[in-house]
Amino acid sequence: MVAATATTPAGARPVRAGRRLRLPAWVGTAPFLAYVGLFLLLPTGIIVFNAFRSPSGALNLSSLKLLFSSTTRSYFIGSFQLCLISSAVGAVLGAILAYAIASGNPDGTVRRLYIAVSGVLAQFGGVTLAFAFVVLIGPVGLLTHASWFYTFPWGIAVIYTYFQVPLMVLVFLPAIDGLKVQWREASDSLGSSAWQYWRYVGGPLLAPAFLGAALLLFANALSAFATVVAWENQIAYIVPQQIYVAINSEVGLSNVNQADVLALGMIIMVAIIMTGYAFLQRRAARWLR
Amino acid sequence: MAKLIAAAKKEGTLNVIALPPTWANYGAIISTFEKKYGIKINSANPDGSSQDEVNAVKQENGTAAAPDVLDIGMAVALVNTNLFAPYKVSTWSDIPTAQKSTAGLWYQDYGGYMSVGYSSKFGTITSMSQLLGPKFKGAVALNGNPTEANAALNGVMMASLANGGSAASIAKGVSFFQELKSKGNFDSVQATGATIKAGTTPVVLNWDYLNLPSYVGVSNWKVFIPSGAVLGGYYAQAINKNAPHPAAARLWEEFLYSQAATGGQNLWLAGGARPVEQSAMTSNSSINSADAAKLPAVPGTPVFLTQSQATDAANYLMANWAKAVS
């Protein structure tokens, strides 16, 4: 369209440039900014603001004291344990599975089947998943009664791993597909062993993607709520469960400001992990620069 | 009374909230009232909690949709009395003094005692200590997290009373559950009607009206109240002070506290809940004795937690529950 102006023969009426809508550049990003503002920044702001208020509405640090109690610490340790175990196991198993899929026929049925199944199972969580486990290996399980099933974090970590592995496959497979066969061939023809290939070529190439995917899994586990509640709703082990108690308690322990303080704690936890991740990512991708 | 009925009929509508039709016979209570007075009842959010009721009163204040009457847990009622209008039903004197506010802001309506419901495959159980035995592996469940759900808190309190504790301290109940957990007998699945039917929660600590075989819908289900651990819990009625249908609201209360054969008190009893005027009605023989006989026996003097005892128990659980049982 723009090129038409240049080719207009002399003497003809020039196409007016004004025809083209000229809008400031920010207009294009406005929907995105509005979306992020309403659904991320605003709620975060409300949480932070309320965390610094007492239940009566005064601005002070009385609610924040909760963050430093030993009970609260145990919920954060619980969340951290669960996320770490389920994301580490999920990332390793998922990466191995993704590699196995990638080394198969790229157009084969097996690959398509695995990707389709992973897509479904990565979203399989919540009450349905927990209930399936309870029915199979719970106290009166159809298969067996696994005595560790209600030991935190092992029982719930196994349930989480169920959706972490397929999620890892989905997010990590493109990275493995990016490894060129020629690199392996070059490495082999230069006489390196399989170990040396992974140590000096494949590993460093995949490390940034692996860490990124593992972080995604960690965050995925951190915010999961329905699954853990369906697994165990009589004891709170992790922060989201305790936030639920702080909002809903009918025995006089409900305190929305404390829920906000716990949520703020989770935000800080994510911030620390993101910082650590950014640092690791820089180290892992050092050779790229 | 005739004036009240006329005024209520003129309003023609009553808004109720958080009354599940299968709970304490509310389905029949609502339809009986509608038929008797020709007043339409709008039943909002039947599965809501007491807190939801209070939130609705605040958020819908001034609209025609605001709840007129509340059926509310005591913990929530006592901190929200500024939302209620005082009213004393005509059978006011038959409500025990400890179970109503002197100003008439709230008045307990029905309730029950904490009980142990269990599958009859275990034979007959008569005491809490039996639940520590090896045949109850993974079997004993509460109705929720005791720092969150009132029924669960009272379940722990019942265990405390049964183990020599008092209403002033729930600590012995927590140690009971700690022992239960260490023996592997604690069942982490939250008990619901579905889990009882499915057999995943074969022993449940809950209010007796929620533990009756007729309520649970399982024929091989038994229930008992442990001796020396009779712990009562009642809900309360209150009228929204800005009720959009003030006369219908008051007529509803009169109906609920009526001792007639098809009045609220006997209808609650038919649903397995113990109406607050039960002892007065037993004396004046207006009680439906067949329904009363279906309730589990009460072995001892009932204990009712005061507000400060309930708060102390909740705070103790907040600090110790998760630690003790995880």
Interface mutation vs chain B, best among A69, A71, A251, most B CBs within 10 Å: A251
Nearest chain A Cα distance for residue B74, angstroms: 9
Residue ranges, CATH 3.40.190.10, chain B:
2-111+232-293, 112-231+298-325
Q: Estimate the share of chain A in helix, then strand, then coil, as percent rounded to the nearest 5.
A: 75, 0, 25
Per-residue confidence (pLDDT) for residue A204, from 0 to 100: 87
pLDDT for B240 beyond 90: yes
Per-residue confidence (pLDDT) for residue A7, from 0 to 100: 46
- For range B46-64, the mean pLDDT: 90
Residue count of chain B: 326
- For range B88-92, the mean pLDDT: 96
Beta carbons of A231 and B49 less than 8 Å apart: no
The dihedral through the CA atoms of B301, B304, B72, B9 has a sign that is: positive
Interface mutation vs chain A, best among B147, B196, B321, most A CBs within 10 Å: B147
Could you confirm whether domain B2-111+232-293 is CATH 3.40.190.10?
A: yes
Q: Which residues of A touch B48 (CB under 8 A)?
A: none
Kindly report whether the peptide bond that precedes residue B202 is cis, defined as omega within 30 degrees of 0.
no
| DSSP state letter for B92 | G
Specify whether the CB–CB gap between A12 and A6 falls below 8 A.
Answer: no
- With an 8 Å Cβ cutoff, is B121 touching chain A? no
Residue of A nearest to B188 (CA): A232
Nearest chain B Cα distance for residue A37, angstroms: 26
Per-residue confidence (pLDDT) for residue B36, from 0 to 100: 96
The pTM is what?
A: 0.79
Residue A149 CA, chain-centre distance (Å), reads 25
Average pLDDT, rounded, for chain B: 93
Residue of B nearest to A130 (CA): B189
Specify whether the CB–CB gap between A281 and A208 falls below 8 A.
Answer: yes
Q: Which residues of A touch B315 (CB under 8 A)?
A: 253
- For range B211-222, the mean pLDDT: 89
**Helix/strand/coil for B44:** strand
Domain ranges of chain A: 65-288
* Helix axes B26-37 and B246-256, enclosed angle (nearest 10): 120
- With an 8 Å Cβ cutoff, is B155 touching chain A? no
Beta carbons of B148 and A251 less than 8 Å apart: yes
Q: Residues B270-298, buried b or exposed e (16+ Cβ, 10 A)?
A: bbbbbbbbbebbeeeebbbeebbeebbeb
Alpha carbon distance B95, B89 (integer Å): 10
CB atoms within 10 A of CB B32: 16
User: For A65-288, which CATH superfamily applies?
Assistant: MetI-like (1.10.3720.10)
- Residue A99 phi, psi dihedral angles, 5° rounding: -65, -40
Query: Mind listing the pLDDT tens digit for each residue in B253-277?
Result: 999 999 999 999 999 999 999 999 9
- B112-231+298-325 CATH, one of 1.20.120.80, 3.40.190.10, 3.30.420.10, 3.40.50.11740: 3.40.190.10
Nearest CB neighbour to A250, from listed B75, B187, B326:
B75
Nearest chain A Cα distance for residue B187, angstroms: 7
Q: Which residues of B touch A259 (CB under 8 A)?
A: none
Beta carbons of A233 and B190 less than 8 Å apart: yes
Nearest chain A Cα distance for residue B37, angstroms: 34
Report the half-sphere exposure of B296 (CA within 13 A, side-chain side). 27
Amino acid identity, position B300: G
Q: What is the pLDDT along chain A (289 residues), one digit of tens a residue?
A: 344 444 444 555 555 555 667 788 888 899 999 999 999 999 999 999 988 988 887 888 888 888 888 889 999 999 999 999 999 999 999 999 999 998 888 888 889 999 999 999 988 888 889 888 888 887 777 888 777 888 889 999 999 999 999 999 999 998 898 888 899 999 999 999 999 999 988 888 888 889 889 999 999 899 889 899 888 888 899 999 999 988 888 787 878 888 999 999 999 999 998 898 888 888 777 766 6
Per-residue confidence (pLDDT) for residue A12, from 0 to 100: 54
Q: Which residues of B touch A135 (CB under 8 A)?
A: 200
Nearest chain B Cα distance for residue A283, angstroms: 39
